[in-house]
Amino acid sequence: MTITEKILAAHAAKKEVQRGELINARVDLILANDITAPIAIQEFKKIGAKDVFDKDRVVFVSDHFAPQKDIKAAQQCKELKDFAHEYELSLFFDVGRMGVEHALLPEQGLVVAGDLVIGADSHTCTYGALGAFSTGVGSTDVAAAMASGQCWFKVPDSMKFVYHGKLNKWVGGKDLILHTIGDIGVDGALYMAMEFEGEVISQMPMHHRLTMCNMAIEAGGKSGIIVPDDITRSYLNARAKRPCVFYTSDQERPGAVKNNDAAYIDVRDYDCSKIQPTVACPHLPSNVRPASELTNVTIDQVVIGSCTNGRLEDLREAAKVIKGRKVNPNVRLIVIPATQAIYKDAMREGLLEIFIDAEAAVSTPTCGPCLGGHMGILAKGERAIATTNRNFVGRMGHPESEVYLSNPAVAAASAVLGRIGLPQELGL
């Protein structure tokens, strides 16, 4: 079996599972936010549930429209707080303690290798970087799981992506996943487990792995996952709140139906030495081009943050590019550390001072601009480049605005240049 099938089988109390099989499985962690939790709470009460299945396994995070941007957002956040207090949830993260959920949970050690995690947010697939099966579900599924501790699944097909060669300068996980989505399309892995491996992945630090799994959903994936290794172990040893189980995939045999090897619907191979800093152009994450081909595209706004690229290492990369320089006078640069801990570490390291000296705005953790919520809305005709994960029509504001997606280094260089550009243009 694949790692995905092994995790699902273990949580369904079965010796093995077959792709396409419908199963009920116990969940290790359930997640919802200030947009999706209120719906789950309504359904939870509607079905007459008396209590949550485990007060230490339900996570509520107020991060999308928080700090509360208007009365409606304030009401939604209050619903989370009231429910968390009523049912004595130990994992409720409000403003001042919260972070962008998919950066917060790994940082806090709440997801570990071998877990089965569901979340009422499509980017729940992020946690596959830790060797967990994690996927987004609807709020009604979250409601039922909060009551029962279980959820139903169709065992997905698995698709393998192998990365070899040597990474070019300023190329990382964001570029690899954008290149991959550009190759297979936004539905190229529809309802599949996207398994990432190869010599490049085995040497890749955790923040790049988290970025890659985070965007599996942008190729239609049910999940993204990486077989855990020593890098995973080192990351989890420092923070894991529960014991881990390190599953692995059996040797693959493409197209296999039933044998002693793992079955993959497809295997893709990429030579990373040929991949340049990559940008997704409007209005799909699959509409990718090398950043070097887009240097005539002027911009109005840059956002560095989100569950995709708001970690400390991402901020370091951006600060390295922008240090000693000024943001172009025609550009707004908004920097959003993904969690309070990241914010504090960035402050200690002087990163925030670098951004502020460059005339950027630095925000408390929030998903805000990524979903066009607040903290950086685009007007008609405006153009942004962001380290976020989606660039659909109207994603960051007006339907006639445009969003380009990139890694933190390209975003930072673009903020200085006033157009899409590369760190190399700044002599880096």
Residues 40-53 have a mean pLDDT of 96
pLDDT per residue over 277-296, tens digit each? 999 999 999 999 999 999 99
Could you say which DSSP state residue 339 is in?
Answer: B
Q: What is the pTM of this model?
A: 0.95
Q: From the centroid of its chain, how far is CA 189?
A: 17
pLDDT per residue over 355-364, tens digit each? 999 999 999 9
346 or 259: which carries more pLDDT confidence? 346
Q: What is the pLDDT of residue 263?
A: 85
Task: Assess whether pLDDT exceeds 60 at residue 260.
Answer: no
Q: Which residues pair with 30 in a beta bridge?
A: 58, 118
Q: Do domains 3-271 and 278-426 have the same CATH topology?
A: yes
pLDDT per residue over 5-36, tens digit each? 999 999 999 999 999 999 999 999 999 999 99
Task: Assess whether pLDDT exceeds 60 at residue 253.
Answer: no
pLDDT per residue over 200-232, tens digit each? 999 999 999 999 999 999 999 999 999 999 999
Largest CA distance in the chain: 63
Mean pLDDT of the chain: 96
Picking from 158, 134, 129, 145, the residue whose alpha carbon sits closest to that of residue 40 is 145
Q: Which helix (H) or strand (E) holds 379?
A: none
- Residue ranges of the domains in the chain? 3-271, 278-426
Task: Assess whether pLDDT exceeds 70 at residue 419.
Answer: yes
Helix/strand/coil for 69: coil
Q: Which residues pair with 117 in a beta bridge?
A: 29, 134
Check whether the bond before 11 is cis (ω within 30° of 0).
no
Q: What is the pLDDT of residue 162?
A: 97
| Gap between the Cα atoms of 365 and 355, Å rounded | 16
Query: Which fold does the domain 3-271 belong to in CATH?
Result: Aconitase; domain 3 (3.30.499)
What SS3 string covers 85-110? HHCCCCEEECCCCCECHHHHHHHCCC
| Phi, psi for 424 (deg, rounded to 5) | -60, -30
Picking from 137, 132, 130, the residue whose alpha carbon sits closest to that of residue 152 is 137
pLDDT per residue over 299-331, tens digit each? 999 999 999 999 999 999 999 999 999 999 999
Tokens of 270: 């990429």
CATH superfamily name and code, 278-426? Aconitase, domain 3 (3.30.499.10)
Tokens of 428: 């880096």
Show Cβ contacts of residue 258 under 8 Å, excluding neighbours closer than 6 positions. 18
Question: How distant, in Å, are the alpha carbons of 17, 76, 155 from that of 21?
Answer: 7, 37, 5
Q: How confident is the model at residue 261 (pLDDT cuts 50, 70, 90)?
A: low
Q: Which residues pair with 119 in a beta bridge?
A: 31, 136
E-strand stretches of 198-348: 223-225, 252-254, 262-264, 266-271, 278-280, 288-290, 301-304, 332-335
Query: Do the Cβ atoms of 349 and 340 come closer than 8 Å?
Result: no
Query: Do the Cβ atoms of 164 and 171 come closer than 8 Å?
Result: no
Q: How confident is the model at residue 255 (pLDDT cuts 50, 70, 90)?
A: low
Task: Assess whether pLDDT exceeds 70 at residue 151.
Answer: yes
| Gap between the Cα atoms of 7 and 135, Å rounded | 13
Tokens of 348: 């200690």
Q: What is the pLDDT of residue 259?
A: 46
Tokens of 176: 């690899």
Q: What is the pLDDT of residue 254?
A: 54
Q: What is the pLDDT of residue 374?
A: 95
